[in-house]
Amino acid sequence: MAMVTIKDVARKAGVSVGTASQALRGSASVRDTTRRRVLQVAQRLRYQPSALARGLVTRRTHTVGLLISDIANPFFIRAVRAIEDLAQENGYTVILCNTDEDPAKEAQYLRVLMEKRVDGIVLATTAEALSIIRDIRRRRVPLVLFDRELPGVAADTVKVDGEMGGRLATEYLLSLGHRRIAIIHGPLVRSTGRERLRGYLRALEAAGMRPVQEYIREGNFKQDSGRDHTRRLLDLAAPPTALFCTNNLMTVGALQALHERGVRIPGDLSLVGYDDMEWWTLTHPPLTTVGQPVYDLGREAMRLLLLQMGAERRGRPQRMVLKPELIIRSSCAPPTGSFPRRAGGRGSLSRRERARG
């Protein structure tokens, strides 16, 4: 109940508080017999040092803050896992914060983390809580921007090349012969939203095609928007023959809408998703996606943070851009030209079905 303090340990061991402290933390300037005595007493009393008191004087808490938009998004999970792994290996503990893409929550959490005097922060920012972030920089609290860039703020950044991801997917669809390619992209305020769209546009341009306004839809990176936009795309007079969804949740939404309308993949429509998840080999059909090295993303972010936290003086901010890759499974095929009238027939079967037929 009443916590046992180092004072109790010192008294019972017949030694001053100073010595007890040294003994407990293994300083060389304490006699061996003394150290043993102290350690033994500490153990007997089940002494648990107070990290609060220690942090107060050492100015280190061995705690880092991690702010992401939503831990329930499978994309972030592996990154969180990587960050936690690396933190643990280095004696750090992680405070987890879901911002839900809400700038107010983000600012609020950042404030709390500052008050708790965390040693560093990994942040997937909404890009709309600038003032407090500037404050963090001013106070020289180690900070790594994760997954998303923040123009105007000089800080270590780890991200995946979104433009390349957009290009990869679009070029692939073009190479299959598609000309009516729709995209559901993310919010333009996020660098991820902007970049993937840019990649799509660049690829079209390189192919000498001009973008069609009604094939370009801004989603919000959540499942519903994937479903809604897909429905609307299908309702078009000239629906697309291929669809590119730029994050995992919107891809799930799109799949739902396609299933619900009985659209055959890739027979009627080719689909490229984003973010690889192992269960996407189990969907019907197995999905072709742009895969991001998520675990590495988290790992690198934490590595950079550890570097910052360890360094006396800070160097110039690093910027690290990882490469996505196209993972080809069976959700894409050349356009048949017969959609939206149902053509049926062999051409509309996925690889798996064909193997069985």
Partner DNA sequence: TCGCGGAATTGAAACGTTTCAATTTTTCGC
Partner DNA sequence: GCGAAAAATTGAAACGTTTCAATTCCGCGA
Query: Using CB under 8 A as the criterion, which residues of the chain lie in contact with a second copy when the complex forms?
Result: 1, 3, 46, 48-53, 55-56, 61, 63, 70-72, 74, 77-78, 80-81, 84-85, 88, 93-98, 105, 111-112, 114-117, 135, 139-140, 252, 255-256, 259, 262, 278-279, 281-285, 352-353, 355-356
Interatomic CA distance for residues 129 and 131, integer angstroms: 6
CB of residue 106 to DNA, shortest distance in Å: 23
Out of DNA, a second copy, none, what residue 207 binds, judged by CB under 5 to 8 A for its kind, is: none
Least distance between DNA and beta carbon 308 (Å): 20
- The only residue of 16, 40, 43, 175 in contact with DNA, by rule CB under 7 A: 16
Is 223 buried (19+), middle (13-18) or exposed (0-12) by CB count in 10 A?
A: buried
Torsion of CA 343, 216, 79, 319, to 10 degrees: 140
Among residues 1, 29, 151, 313, the one that binds DNA under rule CB under 7 A: 29
**25, 134, 284, 354: residue in contact with DNA (rule CB under 7 A):** 25
88 binds, among a second copy, DNA, none (CB under 5 to 8 A by kind): a second copy
Q: Which does 29 bind (CB under 5 to 8 A by kind): DNA, a second copy, none?
A: DNA
Instruction: Using the rule CB under 7 A, give the single segment among 52-60, 118-126, 140-148, 345-353 that binds DNA.
Output: 52-60
* Nearest-approach distance from CB 49 to DNA, in angstroms: 4
3-state class (DSSP) for residue 209: coil
Candidate segments 28-36, 69-77, 94-102, 298-306, binder of DNA by CB under 7 A = 28-36
CA 1 to chain centroid, in Å, comes to: 41
Minimum distance from CB of 91 to DNA (Å)?
14
Does the protein bind DNA through residue 22 (CB under 7 A)?
yes
Partner whose binding site includes residue 262, from DNA, a second copy, none (CB under 5 to 8 Å by kind): a second copy
* C-alpha pair distances (Å), 59 with each of 54, 56, 134, 141, 322: 8, 6, 21, 12, 34
Peptide bond into 240 cis (omega under 30): no
**Cis link prior to 285 (omega < 30° from 0)?**
yes
Cβ closest to a second copy, residue 35 vs residue 78: 78
What is the smallest separation between the CB atom of 62 and DNA, expressed in angstroms?
Answer: 12
Under the criterion CB under 7 A, does residue 18 sit at the interface with DNA?
A: yes
CB 203 within 8 Å of CB 183 = no
**Interface with DNA in residues 58-77 (CB under 7 A):** 58
**C-alpha distance across the termini of the chain, in Å:** 71
Q: Least Å distance between CB 132 and DNA?
A: 17
Alpha helix ranges (H) inside 66-129: 74-89, 103-115
Sole binder of DNA in the list 43, 44, 56, 89 (CB under 7 A): 56
**Comparison of 27 and 175: residue with beta carbon closer to DNA:** 27
**Least Cβ distance, residue 155 to DNA (angstroms):** 24
User: Which CB atom, from 61 or from 126, has the smaller least distance to a second copy?
Assistant: 61
C-alpha distances out from residue 83 to 90, 159, 229, 308, 313, Å? 11, 14, 34, 15, 23
Indicate the residue type of 145.
L
CB of 201 to a second copy, least distance (A): 29
Q: Using CB atoms within 10 A of its CB, is residue 123 exposed (0-12), middle (13-18) or buried (19+)?
A: buried
Asked if residue 119 binds DNA (CB under 7 A), the reply is no
How many Cα atoms are found within 13 Å in the side-chain-facing hemisphere of 313?
2
Nearest by Cα to 124 from 314, 277, 297 = 297
Asked whether 150 and 125 are in contact (CB, 8 A), the reply is yes
**Structure tokens of 25?**
């933390």
Residue 56 CB, nearest approach to DNA (Å) = 4
Q: Which residues bind DNA (CB under 7 A)?
A: 3, 5-7, 15-19, 21-22, 24-25, 28-32, 34, 47-50, 52-54, 56-58
